[in-house]
Homo-oligomer: A and B are copies of this chain.
Amino acid sequence: MLVETHNLRFPTQGFCHVVEITGEIQANLDQGSIRNGTVTIFVVGSTGGVTTVEYEPGCVQDMEDLYNRLIPPTRDYHHEKAWHDGNGFSHMRASLLKPSLVVPVVDGRLRLGTWQQVVVLNFDNKPRQREVCLQVVGVE
């Protein structure tokens, strides 16, 4: 049994920036030796999340609209009383979506649907580097 760790780091814009990383995950799997198991995709930090979506401009815009509607930046958040950094909404969005996603790896490939891509969302209210840990557990 093997455990292989990969770390991604990339710049993001703020509020609800959707970054597609399916290709990068697969490229990291291709460089390792695990052929069957799982990959845990984990966003380090408390203002980001990860999920899958059909990655096309309409769905990306719909995700922005969805989070603006469910958890708007314009409400008052208690988090800001202590920190005054204006990103209370970012923390709530991230805690709802959650920072991890586990995808089966079968015969060396992510077991995704054809129109199902892995996306990382930066909910913070400013551009920032995001760090994503890929933890692959399985067998050759």
Contact = CB atoms under 8 A, between A and B. Distances in A.
Interface of A: 1-3, 5, 36-38, 40, 42, 44-46, 51-54, 56-59, 61-63, 65-66, 70-71, 77-83, 88, 91-92, 94-106, 111-113, 115-117, 119, 131, 133, 135, 137-139
A37 B135 contact: yes
B116 A53 contact: no
B98 A101 contact: yes
A111 B38 contact: no
Contact of A58 (B53, B66, B88, B117): B88
A95 to B, nearest CB: 4
A139 B116 CA distance: 30
B79 A62 contact: yes
10 contacts: A1-B139, A37-B135, A40-B103, A42-B102, A42-B111, A58-B81, A59-B78, A62-B88, A70-B70, A111-B133
Copies in the complex: 3
B135 A111 contact: yes
A83 B62 CA distance: 14
A89 to B, nearest CB: 9
Contacts of A3: 36-37, 138-139
A13 to B, nearest CB: 18
Nearest to A105: B135
